[in-house]
A = this chain, B = another copy of it.
């Protein structure tokens, strides 16, 4: 029993919640009561309770008490990287095009910019063992230090392109996942001759002021990629 007191408190209460001995909405014994039960000081008890709060088991209402939470049952954590996924990895890329474009209505809206502002467009193909597995398009709002050198762009992930000149902790990212039938251009790029679905992943990156910095759309062959996640 070498484990710290606050850990005991944490584990004990967690067990009671998992046993339904304490149910969502129930009040947890008060801090003073826990101090008595464990012969511990209040700071120690609070440290145990803080762990339960962090893991979403309980929440506090000042002046009232600590209460058992309703679990968030449909929350998942997934790790996504254009270049690497649970069943495969990109081992080669081909740069199709790097150009400056004027965005159309839709793209300007997505990037919260106007149609007369320059946008860098990067189109690439990703390969695994010589086979094209994904078609990738990025739109970056131009700003100083932006990589427009082919060498820097060709093998970079979206985050890498932008984090060259932007501290990465400040980035907010959104992801959108959907399924689609390939159009003729994508079929040609990905050597698709028969019926095949695409898994499309859109990534949008924001700066710390919540302004969009870029949009990336990756069209994966459906038989190439699976995204995995857990509620851990």
Contact = CB atoms under 8 A, between A and B. Distances in A.
A177 B172 CA distance: 23
A159 B73 contact: yes
A232 B172 contact: yes
A74 B83 CA distance: 11
B171 A231 contact: yes
A176 B228 CA distance: 5
A34 interface: no
A197 B195 CA distance: 9
A76 interface: yes
Contacts of A19: 167
Prevailing SS type, chain A contact patch: mixed
A76 B71 contact: no
Interface in A113-144: none
Given A75-B77, A80-B74, A199 B172 contact: no
A172 B231 contact: yes
Contacts of A175: 76, 78, 228-230
A112 interface: no
A152 to B, nearest CB: 17
A180 interface: yes
Interface string A162-178: 01000111111111111
Given A74-B81, A79-B74, A197 B173 contact: no
9 contacts: A14-B169, A17-B167, A74-B80, A74-B157, A175-B230, A178-B225, A178-B227, A181-B196, A181-B222
Given A177-B229, A179-B180, A197-B197, 18 more contacts: A17-B167, A17-B169, A18-B170, A71-B168, A73-B171, A74-B80, A74-B159, A75-B77, A171-B231, A172-B230, A174-B230, A175-B228, A176-B226, A176-B227, A178-B199, A178-B225, A178-B227, A197-B198
